[in-house]
Amino acid sequence: MHLKKRVLVTGGAGFLGSHLCERLLDEGNDVICVDNFYTGSKRNIVHLIDNPYFELIRHDITFPLYVEVDEIYNMACPASPIHYQNDPVQTTKVNVHGSINMLGLAKRIKARILQASTSEVYGDPSVHPQPENYLGNVNCIGPRSCYDEGKRCAETLFFDYHRQHRLKIKVARIFNTYGPRMHPNDGRVVSNFIMQALRGEPITIYGDGSQTRSFCYADDLVDGLIRLMNSPDEITGPVNLGNPVEFTILELAELVIKLVNSKSRIIFSSLPQDDPRQRKPDISLAGNILKWEPAIKLEDGLKKTIEYFNGIRTKYV
Ligand SMILES: NC(=O)c1ccc[n+]([C@@H]2O[C@H](COP(=O)([O-])OP(=O)(O)OC[C@H]3O[C@@H](n4cnc5c(N)ncnc54)[C@H](O)[C@@H]3O)[C@@H](O)[C@H]2O)c1
């Protein structure tokens, strides 16, 4: 018999959080979504509001919260550079104070807790692809540090609560993920290219487009998070979750133009100094311990994402 679990999702009105809430409800759980709508939106969860097993709480997790749940997914944190650099002090706060509040809650109510960490903990890596035991190369005083170091400190807190208070923790290091409900103006390559193609504007590639990236579809990522949460207690992570299949930026632009059937042309601009040549996760650990690997092809995921952006374009953007 499936036992209904009570699950708290912080950042549940965001891109990934909303997909996670949906999937947890589909699996028969009771879901509490907590969000302060900094980058998230009611639009992302409006279809869940009438579900009697879904509750929405407007709350900033840098302040304490008390609810009774069995599991906590800590997803709250702006994820794209333009959003997390907008208020960098708040970005560090949500990672440090927010994590302390959620870990304190998990300790009091004896809940399992999962942290949405990031590939950015590896910084500007000198090892490709990055396995979980690579310690990273992070600048602690740059404009990205609020996010990178904030997430690193959150991981430290998770592991100290685990060692000191025997908390049941799970740490997922998420790599570049895309899909419907991404913020259309978040400045990331997938949303940029799709919006430019839908508007028929030129698609801007920095450099010659031969740099590679890998893209994980949201449903695959959510599947990995749930497998990690459901894994035996001794599996704490950190575990990389992402799609290792690489595409050049030029291939991505051409594919988006084809799928949108757009008249956009590609233009080239000079490469920013910190643009990495390659970003690719090593997911062998997730394969071994979670039996997880992404299943959705870029073309299929892009079609669904394009359909979403096309739907909201006229209404909200
Ligand atoms: N999308 C990716 O490619 C990616 C990659 C690596 C890590 N992650 C991590 O996954 C998580 C979700 O990312 P996303 O892409 O869905 O981003 P998102 O910005 O869409 O979602 C973050 C959510 O957290 C909420 N939030 C922010 N500060 C809050 C606060 N103080 N209190 C309550 N809610 C708050 C926002 O309003 C938003 O709904 C983040 O922690 C992010 O760092 C995402």
Model pLDDT for residues 154-202, shown as the tens digit of each residue: 999 999 999 999 999 999 999 999 999 999 888 899 999 999 999 999 9
Nearest to 233 by CA among 135, 148, 114: 114
Which is the closest atom of ligand 1 to the Cα of 93?
Answer: 31
- Quickly list DSSP for 258-313: HHHT----EEEEPPPTT--SB--B--HHHHHHH-------HHHHHHHHHHHHHHHH
Q: Cα(290) to centroid of ligand 1, in Å? A: 23
Whether pLDDT at 1 is above 60: no
Angle, CA of 289, 23 and 54, to the nearest 5°: 130
Is the per-residue pLDDT at 312 higher than 80? Answer: yes
Q: Which residues contact 186 (CB under 8 A, 6 or more apart)?
A: 39, 79, 80, 82, 83
CA 101 – CA 114 distance, rounded (Å): 13
How much distance in Å is there from the Cα of 11 to the middle of ligand 1? 6
> Averaged over 27-56, what is the pLDDT?
97
Per residue in 224-233, pLDDT (tens digit) is: 999 999 999 9
Tokens of 61: 């997790």
- CA count, 13 A, side-chain hemisphere, 279: 23
Distance 261 CA to ligand 1 centre (A): 31
β partners of residue 266: 203
Phi-psi region of 262 (alpha: psi -120 to 50; beta: other; left: phi over 0): beta
Of all atoms in ligand 1, which is nearest to the CA of residue 83?
A: 19
Distance 208 CA to ligand 1 centre (A): 31
Please give all residues whose beta carbon lies within 6 A of any atom in ligand 1, as ranges: 10-11, 13-17, 34-40, 60-62, 75-79, 94, 98, 116, 118, 174, 176-177, 183
What does the alpha-carbon distance between residue 86 and residue 19 come to, in Å, rounded to a whole number?
Answer: 25
| 165: Cα within 13 Å, side-chain hemisphere | 20
Q: Which of 186, 183, 197 is nearest to 267 (CA)?
A: 197
Please state, in angstroms and rounded to a whole number, the distance separating the CA atoms of residues 8 and 57: 10
Angle between helices 249-260 and 298-316 (to 10 degrees): 60
pLDDT digits (tens, 9 = 90+) for 70-120: 999 999 999 999 999 999 999 999 999 999 999 999 999 999 999 999 999
pLDDT value of position 274 = 62
Tell me how far apart the alpha carbons of residues 248 and 23 are, in angstroms, rounded to a whole number: 31
Residue nearest to atom 1 of ligand 1 (CA): 177
Which pTM value belongs to this model?
0.96
**Rounded Cα gap, residues 110 and 108, in angstroms:** 6
Instruction: Give the residue numbers marked as catalytic.
Output: 147
